[in-house]
Amino acid sequence: MIPVQEPTDAVAQPTLRAKRLGLHTQHQAVVIMRTDCHVCRSEGLAARSQVLVSTGNREVQATLFQIEGGELIGLDEIALSETAWTILGVADGEAVKVTHAPAIESLASVRRRIYGNRLDASAFAAIVNDVVAGRYTDVHLAAFLTASAALPLDEEETADLTGAMVEVGDRMRWDAPIVVDKHCIGGLPGNRTTPIVVAIVASHGLIMPKTSSRAITSPAGTADTMETLAPVDLDIATLRRVVEAEGGCIAWGGAVHLSPADDIFLRVERELDVDTEGQLIASVLSKKISAGSTHVVIDIPVGATAKVRSEEVASHLAERIGAVAARFGLTATCLQTDGSQPVGRGIGPALEAFDVLAVLQNASGAPDDLRRRAATLAGAALEIGGKARRGEGTRLALETLAEGRAWAKFEAICEAQGGMRTPPTASNVHPVVAPHAGRIVHIDNRKLARLAKLAGAPEAKAAGVRMNVRLGHEIDKGQPMLHVHAETRGELAYALEYASRADDIVKVEP
């Protein structure tokens, strides 16, 4: 046997000193090392290698980038992105160990799916566990999501993915026989019914722990809009306290550990601009199951430029949602609604928040379509919860709004979540006018959403579009059809340039 000496200080070790670089990489763990670093040489590390950085009992898998010499980092240093720094919880100069990342066995299942093979529950469980553990890069995530779109998930796979997403996170349970929830499939700008529905339902004593997502492909998600009115970054303890006090909440799902894989998938889906049926169902239902809901009302807008284009597709989606939900003891009630044009007037976080406030406060000129749509969804929940007889839920919901009960409950929920805020307003507003007199015959939801995003939404909370017309309205030449709101002149100019090219965003027929 050849004796092996213990390493001495003179022998290079695979450790480096951590350095905070202040590099923001949008949730990706990234590290930077010098090409002539002894760890890179001894470990054979090259740019875009996956490395495991560890200290004590904490570790992070990260993508490596390299630089040639320079003064940015020393030979014995490793620079960490903000995401990697937060996960590791290290201090400047603290020693960290750097090695090759271990092989990710679940990627074999992703490759099988790419080549057209179905996956079982154990394969989905392994994939989701690795995703939540931070072992998947955005390339791996995109490959999995694309493979799940090219060959759509069947019902069994959708249920298995849903179960895997539930099991990897926390689950809440409530001391109530009925816990209601709601969700909108999306694709309809301005459809911000959730804050109104929660306020109505909770004011009647039902439990509604609503967690919502940020925008995926839209100019605003419920969490983006609600954040302009009250804090939404609630941890589970705070969420439970708010619900126990007020019966409901409107919180960002990413702040709690309920189906944590969902927000990771949503982030990459946003980059890819995809939202496939199987992923959509698993995303929606995993959050509802994890939140402890027993019943959920699903809003499915149907329209030529909505996410769901026909009643046949909507019926199929409703059937699939109901079947998968039933496997987990969750009852889903799906309602097909009008998706031919935007809801309310505002498109964008703050602009939609002003519509919500107008409806809740019974303001003169509040958008009636938003009021009635929210009342329909809330009415279904009131009927499910035994607070209204069948067919009378919508009437009770409208009465609750008119009497001010919903507004009082919404104020109480906002205060419990950390205090009510005033939504911001944009400093740059410009009209898009009718090219000629006529009648509004078509409004393109997708192009409107694109216009609002070009104006800065949802990142710029005050940005977006405010509608002045609806289908069937008569309009004069030069009369504003909509106003673009932007926080900077550059974003306003960019959005208006798009509007000038996409002249059929709002179609006027002479």
Fill in the amino acid letter for 465. Answer: V
Give 55-107 as a 3 state SS string: ECCEEEEEEEEEECCCCCCCCCEEEEEHHHHHHHCCCCCCEEEEEECCCCCCH
Better pLDDT: 76 or 255: 76
The per-residue pLDDT for 79 is 95
Tens of pLDDT, residues 473-491: 999 999 999 999 999 999 9
Q: Is the pLDDT at 200 greater than 80, yes or no?
A: yes
Same domain assignment for residues 353 and 433: no
The per-residue pLDDT for 10 is 44
Q: Is the pLDDT at 3 greater than 70, yes or no?
A: no
Tens of pLDDT, residues 406-451: 999 999 999 999 999 999 999 999 999 999 999 999 999 999 999 9
Name the residue range of residue 109's domain.
105-151
Same domain assignment for residues 385 and 492: no
Same domain assignment for residues 349 and 241: yes
Same domain assignment for residues 324 and 404: yes
Mean pLDDT of 209-225: 89
**Three-class DSSP category at 298:** strand
Q: Is the pLDDT at 273 greater than 80, yes or no?
A: no
Fill in the amino acid letter for 339. Answer: G
CATH number at residue 374: 3.40.1030.10
Q: Which of 262, 275, 369, 444 is catalytic?
A: 275
Q: Look at strands 295-302 and 331-338 and give their pairing.
A: parallel
Give 435-457 as a 3 state SS string: CCCEEEEEECHHHHHHHHHHCCC
Same domain assignment for residues 47 and 124: no
The per-residue pLDDT for 177 is 95
Same domain assignment for residues 249 and 347: yes
> Is 299 part of the annotated catalytic residue set?
no
Q: Is the pLDDT at 5 greater than 80, yes or no?
A: no
Q: How many domains does the chain have?
A: 4
The per-residue pLDDT for 6 is 52
> Residue 12's pLDDT band (boundaries 50, 70, 90)?
very low
Percent share of the chain, pLDDT over 70: 97
Answer whether 295's CB lies under 8 Å from 288's CB: no
Q: Is residue 125 part of a domain?
A: yes
**Tally of CA atoms within 13 A in the half-sphere of 345 that contains its CB:** 20
Q: Is the pLDDT at 496 greater than 70, yes or no?
A: yes
Q: Is the peptide bond before 102 cis (omega within 30 degrees of 0)?
A: no
Q: Is residue 264 part of a domain?
A: no
Q: CA 345, CA 458: separation in Å to the nearest integer?
A: 16
Same domain assignment for residues 324 and 375: yes
The chain-wide mean pLDDT, for the chain, equals 93
Q: Is the pLDDT at 282 greater than 60, yes or no?
A: yes
Same domain assignment for residues 69 and 187: no
Q: Is the pLDDT at 13 greater than 70, yes or no?
A: no
Q: Is residue 331 part of a domain?
A: yes
Estimate the crossing angle of helix 393-402 against helix 194-203, to 10 degrees: 90
Same domain assignment for residues 316 and 446: no
Same domain assignment for residues 361 and 440: no
The CA-atom distances, in angstroms, between 467 and each of 344, 497, 505 are 8, 18, 11
Q: Is residue 161 part of a domain?
A: no
The per-residue pLDDT for 9 is 45
Q: Is the pLDDT at 285 greater than 90, yes or no?
A: yes
Percent share of the chain, pLDDT over 90: 84
Listed residues 100, 135, 170: the one ending a domain:
100
The per-residue pLDDT for 239 is 95
The per-residue pLDDT for 205 is 97
Q: Is the pLDDT at 94 greater than 90, yes or no?
A: yes
* Helix or strand (DSSP H, E) at 483: strand 480-486
